[in-house]
Amino acid sequence: MLLDGPHGSYRPGAHADRFVLIAGGVGITPIISLLRTAADCGDRRPFRLIYRSRRQEDIIFREQLDQLEQQLDLRVVHVLSDPHPGWTGEAGFIDDALLARHLPRDPSGAEVFLCGPPPMLATALAGLRRLGVAPEHVHTEQCVTV
């Protein structure tokens, strides 16, 4: 038996000085893998995660994300599409305005990794483009329910 791969570009490059990670729902899965690897390697570069879930109780890997915030230079921004009354965090879509609030001041040196459902990816990619993030610094994976 021969096993080969993966051959994709969905891993942090050694040249990047910071990372922006954008996930929706189960799209957190490859992102959490990326963050765990960074923690295991002692990576000290800054990571910013923008993670959209339906409700607070739907946040996958919540405890692990809390731990990773202690191990890495990681800031997690939770975005809920259906927040409970009293939620004080971000709500709605990952659009231009939300990205502008949470991207680094100069996003040009960041590598951006996105994973989530196609509509979220389309909105986030358009926002990143309008905010000046070069396409060659953007890496995507889609989550599609079949």
Pairing type for strands 110-116 and 90-91 reads unpaired
Tens of pLDDT, residues 24-80:
999 999 999 999 999 999 999 999 999 999 999 999 999 999 999 999 999 999 999
pLDDT at 141: 84
Is 77 among the domain residues?
A: yes
Rounded to an integer, what distance in angstroms lies between the CA atom of residue 64 and that of residue 66?
Answer: 5
Dihedral-angle region of residue 132 (phi above 0 means left; psi in -120 to 50 means alpha; beta otherwise): left
pLDDT band (50, 70, 90) for residue 11: low
Is 2 among the domain residues?
A: no
Domain count, the chain: 1
Is 55 among the domain residues?
A: yes
Three-state SS sequence of the chain: CCCCCCCCCCCCCCCCCEEEEEEEHHHHHHHHHHHHHHHHCCCCCEEEEEEEECCHHHCCCHHHHHHHHHHCEEEEEEEECCCCCCCCCEECCCCHHHHHHHCCCCHHHEEEEEEECHHHHHHHHHHHHHCCCCHHHEEEEECCCC
Answer whether 49's CB lies under 8 Å from 39's CB: no
Structural domain that includes position 130:
18-142
- The pTM assigned to this predicted structure is 0.89
Look-up of token digits 């079949």: 146
Is 122 among the domain residues?
A: yes
Is 12 among the domain residues?
A: no
Is 6 among the domain residues?
A: no
CATH number at residue 27: 3.40.50.80
pLDDT at 96: 92
What residues pair up with 1 in beta bridges, in sequence order? Answer: none
